[in-house]
Amino acid sequence: MRALVAAGVVALALVSFVPAASAKSGCPAAWRSGWQTLANRVQAPVYCPTWMPNPLDAKIGGQYIDIYSVNKDRSYLVSFLEHGDLGSGDVHVNFRGYPGRLTIPTCPGQVKDAKVPCFADPVGHMTANGIRATVYQVNQGADQWHVLLMWHHRGSMYTVSQHVIVPYDSATRVKKNLQRLLKSLVLVEPAR
């Protein structure tokens, strides 16, 4: 019985780390509808990941969706979150897009009426999948305590970030996940 349970746990762990699809094959079928709907709604391309850190998936409207917000200016935040059981920690990934915008937005500061850049303290770059992203370590709002990647594509700004917290409790581990996420991204164009 123990051998059967152990084999099942190993098999589940292996399945959890297999990407849903390669970047070459496009947005995974189970996730495509939500990302296509988002692209249509903001009338701009969006980036769908084909891999997510365990245990998350990137199904908009699925069990891990935390925030789905589209503003009047068509900027959006799509957030996925799993609160770990029994102290295993949180896994939290945010995707943002700013159609038609190339500058970093401002967020409320700690001093009344002060504004600070929402993404700050650039510490280098990551390149994958035709994208050259800047790595930011000091971020505000929903990206606070996250390592964030920011890049531009066709006159718009995009970001993906991950929270640095158990079980991904070091910036080094999170950066490895972000590199893998960057490599997995596929562009979803709005329907005409």
| pLDDT tens, position by position, 118-171 | 999 999 999 999 999 999 999 999 999 999 999 999 999 999 999 999 899 999
Largest alpha-carbon pair distance within the chain? Answer: 62
What's the confidence (pLDDT) of residue 116? 95
DSSP 155: T
pTM: predicted TM-score of the whole model, two decimal places: 0.86
Q: What is the mean pLDDT of the chain?
A: 88
Quote the pLDDT of residue 24: 62
DSSP secondary structure letter of residue 86: G
Close Cβ partners of 49 (under 8 Å, ≥ 6 residues apart):
58, 95, 160, 181, 184, 185, 186
Give tens-digit pLDDT for 19-56. Answer: 444 456 799 999 999 999 999 999 999 999 999 999 99
Over residues 79-108, mean pLDDT: 92
SS3 state of residue 7:
helix
Amino acid identity, residue 77? L
pLDDT given for residue 111 in this prediction: 79
Q: What percent of the chain is predicted at pLDDT more than 70?
A: 86
Residue 7's pLDDT is what?
Answer: 40
Q: Which residues span the domain enclosing 44?
A: 2-188
pLDDT at site 39: 98
Residue 189 pLDDT greater than 70, yes or no: yes
Q: What is the 3-state secondary structure (H, E, C) of 22-66?
A: CHHHCCCHHHHHHHHHHHHHHCCCEEECCCCCCCCCCCCCCCCEE
Percentage of residues of the chain with pLDDT beyond 90: 78
How confident is the model over 5-13, as a mean pLDDT? 38
Number of domains in the chain: 1
What are the residues whose beta carbons fall under 8 Å from the beta carbon of 151, sequence distance 6 or more? Answer: 131, 132, 133, 134, 157, 158, 159
Asked whether the bond before 117 is cis by omega within 30 degrees of 0, the reply is no
